[in-house]
């Protein structure tokens, strides 16, 4: 794939997987529109990438958990006279805890960010990609897309949506020249765990660069989705091999330990 001189819009670009996507795309000569809430961090990243890789990088400070965030971004892109060739829908967050104890505002923001903004951004930019018969959309899902997740019920459900939505679009547009893939990593080193309250989960976390490289390989191979890591791939098959009730009860015990729930 030739990314040189194209423009990529990356959400959640201020840290973790999103920041690594930005770095790797810049290395490939891709110009960038970086979206996140952290204005100062975005400006710093944009400046560093421009200086290092001689590309254009524009920081856009937008809270994607707010209503009409996608509309604001699309309008800004239009005002800048830019065309989005590559869309990386990476922004997202989760909440670990008993559902009835989570504030309604937090639940709403989680769905707005993980589902609504991702869907709307895809809708905003896919049309012009289809017209050009060229484009890439990478939607970051998760291993939690493959099974219900007790104590992260909303997060798991949103990521199941992302996987289903993305695979459906892959089938719809696979002959259009637009490549669409759902990226399904396991736990990855990032600020996600501190924000979600899941730092106590004892598991080996993946390096963001491995996740990003897997995404690029999936695009090259025209995959509808990719599960990153052999062990994660095996885990994702468990709901097919065992009763769903057994799998979800096992997941419940893991998260109960993290939350110290008896």
Residue 193 has pLDDT above 60, yes or no: no
Pick the residue with more confidence: 205 or 5? 5
Pick the residue with more confidence: 126 or 190? 126
Mean pLDDT rounded to a whole number for the chain: 91
Residue pLDDT, tens place only, 141-151 = 999 999 899 99
Residue 129's nearest CA partner among 176, 61, 183, 169 is 176
Strands (DSSP E) along 131-252, which ranges? 135-140, 178-184, 225-227
Residue 252 has pLDDT above 90, yes or no: no
Residue 139's nearest CA partner among 107, 161, 157 is 161
What whole-number distance in Å separates Cα of residue 25 and Cα of residue 6? 10
Three-state SS for 110?
helix
What lies within 8 Å, CB to CB, of 246 at 6+ separation is: none
Residue pLDDT, tens place only, 104-148 = 999 999 999 999 999 999 999 999 999 999 999 999 999 999 989
Pick the residue with more confidence: 237 or 89? 89
* Structure-token match 């997740």, residue found: 149
The helix-helix angle for 208-220 and 16-27 (nearest 10°) equals: 60
Cα distances (Å, whole numbers) of residue 83 to 26, 31, 131, 229: 16, 11, 12, 33
**Max Cα distance, the chain (Å):** 56
Residue pLDDT, tens place only, 198-247 = 455 556 778 999 999 999 999 999 999 999 988 888 887 877 778 888 88
For 74, list phi and psi in degrees, rounded to 5: -60, -40
Pick the residue with more confidence: 250 or 16? 16
Residues 133 and 177 sit within 8 Å (Cβ to Cβ):
yes
* Structure-token match 């547009």, residue found: 173
Residue 91's nearest CA partner among 109, 114, 108 is 114
Percent of the chain with pLDDT over 90: 78
State the pLDDT at residue 205.
72
Of 3, 151, 155, 233, catalytic: 155
Average pLDDT over residues 94-106: 95
Residues 200 and 152 sit within 8 Å (Cβ to Cβ):
no
What whole-number distance in Å separates Cα of residue 150 and Cα of residue 188? 19
H-helix or E-strand spanning residue 202: none
Q: Sketch the domain layout of the chain as residue ranges.
A: 7-259
Burial category of 102 from C-beta neighbours within 10 Å (exposed 0-12, middle 13-18, buried 19 and up)? middle
Percent of the chain with pLDDT over 70: 94
State the pLDDT at residue 105.
97
Pick the residue with more confidence: 46 or 244? 46
Average pLDDT over residues 96-109: 96
Active site residue 155: yes
Assess if CATH 3.40.50.720 describes domain 7-259.
yes
């Amino acid at each position: 794939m030739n990314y040189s001189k194209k423009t990529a819009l990356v959400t959640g670009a201020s840290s973790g997987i999103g920041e690594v996507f930005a770095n790797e795309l810049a290395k490939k000569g891709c110009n960038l529109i970086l979206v996140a809430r952290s204005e100062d961090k975005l400006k710093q990243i944009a400046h560093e990438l421009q200086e290092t890789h001689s590309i254009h990088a524009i920081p856009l400070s937008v809270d994607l958990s707010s209503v009409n965030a996608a509309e604001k971004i699309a309008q800004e892109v239009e005002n800048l006279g830019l065309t989005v060739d590559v869309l990386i829908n990476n922004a997202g967050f989760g909440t670990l805890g008993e559902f009835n104890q989570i504030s309604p505002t937090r639940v709403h923001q989680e769905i707005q960010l993980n589902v609504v903004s991702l869907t709307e951004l895809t809708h905003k930019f896919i049309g012009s990609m289809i017209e050009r018969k060229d484009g890439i959309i990478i939607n970051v899902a998760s291993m939690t897309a493959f099974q219900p997740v007790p104590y992260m019920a909303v997060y798991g459900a949103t990521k199941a949506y992302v996987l289903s939505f993305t695979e459906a679009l892959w089938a719809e547009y696979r002959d259009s020249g637009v490549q669409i893939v759902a990226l399904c990593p396991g736990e990855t080193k990032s600020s996600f765990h501190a924000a979600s309250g899941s730092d106590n989960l004892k598991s080996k976390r993946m390096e963001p660069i491995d996740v990003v490289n897997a995404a690029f390989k999936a695009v090259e191979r025209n995959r509808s989705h990719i599960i990153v890591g052999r062990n994660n791939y095996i885990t994702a098959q468990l709901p097919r091999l065992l009763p769903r009730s057994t799998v979800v009860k096992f997941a419940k015990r893991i998260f109960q330990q993290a939350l110290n729930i008896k």
